[in-house]
């Protein structure tokens, strides 16, 4: 009887301890594995040792107390997350999302989480609960408050992506002051003076791209691969002073891009569960090519620092080499930011260029109009890599912008969060309690008819000409989509507050201007030299819908192969 009473007492204490542990996890966020282990196992172990002195009963008692404690903890967490007392209970969403981020992490495996989240907004509205403590936002009127000067700090998803809660690249730093302080070097490295230094590097690699493509004229080439080679070679030149010659090799030497694509797939999964990413990051070889990618970036950075500055590359600014009175930046900061330079710099530009090529092939009328604009400023024999005329090419800008709208290279965008030790954020009817993660979902904003209409889900660059208000930028009379549409038409919507491919505010994409310059230079050079047509044969042999159907979201997008035939003009 005494033993039974002791067991009942231990059971009750284990339940109480499980409920108390839930409160600890709810209020205090940590990525320390030792702390997690202590909270998960120390209470039932201590309870067993104190409540059971008879040695033969210890194993059975320990098993029972651990099971009771952990079961109580898990049930308490799950019940709380779906209960009406949860701070986010007011916001609708799928039950699986409310219970665990594992639900959305598994949905991201297919690569279609951007479609999934967009469908949730269409079903539930502008604020959707996509995690126990996370919401997705589709409302352009609150973006400035969330992302602007006094907006929210970065969220923890980069901890999962980097498999570490320390040594994050600038874009993933959660402390706003630290982030902006680290960003100062990037702002100098991406400022007008620095971009002028990089322009010859872009021209050199774009010229090399055209020369290599010329060797394949008349045959089928996978154009996206060549844009990969260009962007990686240029980013290596610009960031590290060289070291990559994929254009020269004409192939993915060293499996640079296959490693990158697999790594982004892994990083996306763990980005939804940062604590699990930290755990797995401690296991050798458990994350495959993600660790390979990170190590390759470390090698590039280390080699650049050892070699020193040969020209004014990005690291010239990141390492304070342009400010002799300041000490060099910490090596770890440079290693962390070297990772950012490759992933964010090379990958996104290549994605956008490939998507532009697809859109031109799928819309011959757009292709013809853009070709005419390029020919007007860069006729045969002119230097197509001279940037002087870019400001006078509105249709080129419209085509790029519309491509970024329909096929954003980062479909999900950047996660932000409300500090757990801060106050709730209130913007209109939106209330975000402390500890809430927030995704201003890029893809959902871009395809919201309140922001862009008509032809919301279609590629239609003319919308940017209409919105400019310049009467000289007339619509093409041959464009059937433009018939009956004007800037004053009731159905016309063009809210650029909802256009966020580079995010907005002081923590937006620091490389926006560079990326736009790369795309303009490459497109002008390629269109001046070649005529593109679908590589699988036009008509029944090529369906442009397959590109959108296979455009996948692994933080940065993975796009399908785009075979084209390049004919010399």
**What is the pLDDT tens value at each position of the chain, 569 positions in all?**
455 555 678 888 989 998 998 998 888 878 888 889 999 999 998 888 887 655 557 788 889 899 999 999 999 999 999 999 999 999 999 999 999 999 999 999 999 999 999 999 999 999 999 999 999 999 999 999 999 988 899 999 989 888 888 878 888 889 999 898 889 999 999 999 999 999 999 999 999 999 999 999 988 999 999 999 999 899 888 888 877 888 998 887 666 667 777 777 888 899 999 998 888 888 876 666 667 777 777 777 788 878 777 778 888 898 888 888 888 888 888 877 877 777 777 789 999 999 999 999 999 999 999 999 999 999 999 999 999 999 999 999 999 999 999 999 999 998 999 998 889 999 989 999 999 999 999 999 999 999 999 999 999 999 999 998 776 666 665 566 665 677 778 889 999 999 999 999 988 988 999 999 999 999 999 999 999 998 764 444 578 889 999 999 998 899 999 999 999 99
pLDDT for residue 471: 62
pLDDT for residue 152: 94
Angle 58-82/33-51 helices, nearest 10 degrees?
130
- Provide the CA 483 distance to its chain's centre, in angstroms: 36
The annotation places the binding site at 509
CB-count burial class (<10 Å; 0-12, 13-18, 19+) for 476: middle
> Please, what's the b/e burial string for 445-460 (b: 16 or more CB within 10 A of its CB; e: otherwise)?
bbbbeebbbbebeebb
Residue 33 DSSP SS3:
helix
Q: What is the dihedral of CA 232, 506, 329, 173, to 10 degrees?
A: -80
Provide, for the chain, the percentages of residues in helix, strand and coil under a 3-state DSSP scheme, each rounded to the nearest 5: 60, 10, 35
The annotation places the binding site for heme at 509
pLDDT for residue 263: 76
The CB density around residue 28, as the number of other CB atoms within 10 Å, is 11
Which token pair is 214? 């010329």
CB-count burial class (<10 Å; 0-12, 13-18, 19+) for 197: middle
**Closest alpha carbon to 205 in 240, 237, 173:** 237
Which token pair is 409? 């290279």
Max Cα–Cα distance, the chain, nearest Å = 100
563's enclosing H/E stretch is: strand 563-568
**Closest alpha carbon to 356 in 410, 409, 280, 414:** 409
pLDDT for residue 540: 46
Q: How far is CA 499 from CA 52, 141, 443, 486, in A?
A: 64, 12, 9, 20
Q: Which residues pair with 557 in a beta bridge?
A: 553
**CA dist., res. 253 & res. 471, Å (int):** 49
Q: Which residues pair with 136 in a beta bridge?
A: 128, 439
- Provide the CA 417 distance to its chain's centre, in angstroms: 16
* Residues 433, 87 contacting (CB under 8 angstroms): yes
> Domains of the chain: which residue ranges?
2-82, 172-451+495-568
- Provide the CA 390 distance to its chain's centre, in angstroms: 27
pTM of the model: 0.92
**CA dist., res. 113 & res. 553, Å (int):** 6
pLDDT for residue 478: 55
Q: According to the CATH classification, is domain 172-451+495-568 in 3.40.1710.10?
A: no
pLDDT for residue 473: 64
């Amino acid at each position: 009887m005494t033993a039974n009473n002791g067991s009942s007492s231990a059971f009750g204490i284990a339940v109480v301890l499980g409920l108390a542990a839930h409160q600890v996890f709810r209020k205090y966020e940590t990525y320390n594995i030792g702390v997690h282990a202590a909270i998960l196992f120390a209470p039932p172990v201590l309870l067993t040792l104190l409540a059971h002195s008879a040695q033969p009963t210890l194993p059975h008692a320990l098993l029972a107390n651990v099971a009771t404690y952990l079961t109580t903890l898990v049930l308490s967490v799950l019940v709380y997350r779906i209960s009406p007392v949860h701070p986010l209970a007011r916001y609708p969403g799928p039950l699986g999302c409310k219970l665990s981020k594992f639900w959305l992490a598994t949905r991201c495996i297919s690569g279609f989480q951007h479609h999934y989240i967009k469908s949730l907004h269409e079903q539930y509205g502008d604020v959707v609960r996509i995690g126990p403590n996370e919401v997705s936002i589709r409302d352009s009127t609150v973006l400035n408050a969330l992302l602007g000067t006094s907006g929210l700090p970065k969220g923890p998803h980069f901890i999962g992506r980097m498999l570490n809660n320390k040594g994050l690249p600038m874009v993933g730093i959660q402390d706003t002051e630290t982030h902006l302080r680290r960003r100062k070097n990037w702002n100098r490295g991406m400022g007008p003076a620095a971009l002028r230094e990089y322009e010859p590097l872009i021209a050199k690699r774009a010229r090399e791209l055209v020369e290599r493509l010329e060797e394949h004229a008349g045959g089928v080439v996978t154009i996206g691969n060549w844009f990969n080679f260009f962007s990686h070679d240029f980013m290596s030149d610009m960031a590290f002073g060289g070291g990559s010659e994929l254009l020269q090799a004409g192939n993915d030497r060293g499996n640079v891009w296959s490693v990158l694509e697999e790594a982004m797939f892994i990083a996306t999964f763990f980005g939804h569960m940062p604590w699990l990413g930290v755990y797995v990051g401690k296991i050798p070889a458990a994350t495959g090519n993600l660790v390979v990618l990170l190590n390759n970036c470390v090698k590039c950075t280390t080699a650049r620092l050892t070699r020193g500055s040969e020209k004014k590359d990005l690291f010239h600014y990141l390492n304070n080499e342009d400010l002799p009175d300041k000490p060099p930046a910490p090596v770890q900061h440079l290693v962390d930011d070297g990772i950012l330079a490759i992933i964010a710099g090379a990958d996104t530009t290549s994605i956008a260029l490939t998507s532009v090529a697809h859109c031109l092939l799928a819309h011959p009328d757009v292709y013809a109009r853009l070709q005419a604009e390029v020919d007007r400023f860069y006729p045969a024999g002119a230097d197509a890599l001279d940037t002087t005329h870019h400001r006078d090419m509105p249709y080129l800008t419209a085509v790029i912008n519309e491509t970024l709208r329909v096929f954003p290279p980062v479909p999900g965008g950047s996660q932000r969060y409300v500090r757990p030790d801060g106050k709730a954020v209130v913007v209109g009817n939106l209330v975000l309690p402390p500890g809430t993660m927030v995704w201003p979902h890029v893809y959902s904003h871009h395809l919201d008819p309140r922001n862009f209409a008509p032809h919301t889900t279609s590629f239609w660059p003319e919308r940017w000409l209409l919105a400019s208000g310049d009467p000289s930028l007339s619509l093409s009379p041959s464009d059937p989509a433009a018939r009956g549409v004007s800037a004053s038409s009731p159905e016309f919507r063009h809210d650029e507050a909802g256009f966020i491919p580079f995010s907005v505010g002081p923590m937006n994409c620091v490389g926006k201007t560079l990326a736009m310059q790369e795309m303009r230079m490459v497109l002008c050079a390629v269109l001046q030299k070649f005529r593109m047509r679908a590589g699988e044969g036009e008509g029944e042999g090529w369906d442009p819908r397959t590109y959108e159907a296979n455009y996948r979201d692994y933080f940065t997008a993975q796009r399908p192969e785009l075979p084209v035939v390049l004919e010399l003009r």
